[in-house]
Amino acid sequence: MSDWDDPYDGDEEHDPIVLSPQVEEVFDYEVTPPDVVSAIAAFLVGLRETLDGGRHPEHAEEIPGLPGAYLAPLVRDLGLIQYHATETPYGPGFYVARVVRTDDYPDGF
């Protein structure tokens, strides 16, 4: 899909991927190392591909006891990311709940 065909581009109100406040904080480039930011960005690209009919991001596992919740590793073993499959008025979506960085563990867990 090209940039100009992306139905979610520029329309955050209808974006099917919602970030929790904790995840939004990770995008503070003054605090978060660039390799972690790029790993999270790569994960979000994978979620977009999932919405386009693909499978969940590689190595994502369902969290037992939490229907629709998944835990996936970030690339380069930089941490884990928890997300939830949801339904929006516009179709399927995801809520990205939290990121546990390996350099924050166990404090960030």
In a domain, 55, yes or no: yes
* pLDDT tens for each residue of the chain, 109 residues long: 334 344 445 456 678 889 999 889 888 878 888 888 888 998 998 888 888 876 777 788 999 999 999 999 988 888 899 999 988 887 888 999 998 877 665 554 4
Write out the residue range of the structural domain in which residue 68 sits: 32-80
DSSP class per residue in 75-105: GGG-EEEEEEEEEETTEEEEEEEEEEETTTT
pTM value surpassing 0.85: no
In a domain, 38, yes or no: yes
pLDDT digits (tens, 9 = 90+) for 70-82: 999 988 888 899 9
Query: Does residue 46 sit within a domain?
Result: yes
Residue 107 within a domain: no
CB neighbourhood size of 27 (10 A): 13
How many domains is the chain built from?
Answer: 1
- Does residue 48 form part of some domain? yes
- Residue 96 lies inside a defined structural domain of this protein: no
What pLDDT sits at residue 101?
75
Residue 54 burial (10 A CB sphere; 0-12, 13-18, 19+): exposed
| Residue at 90 is within a domain | no
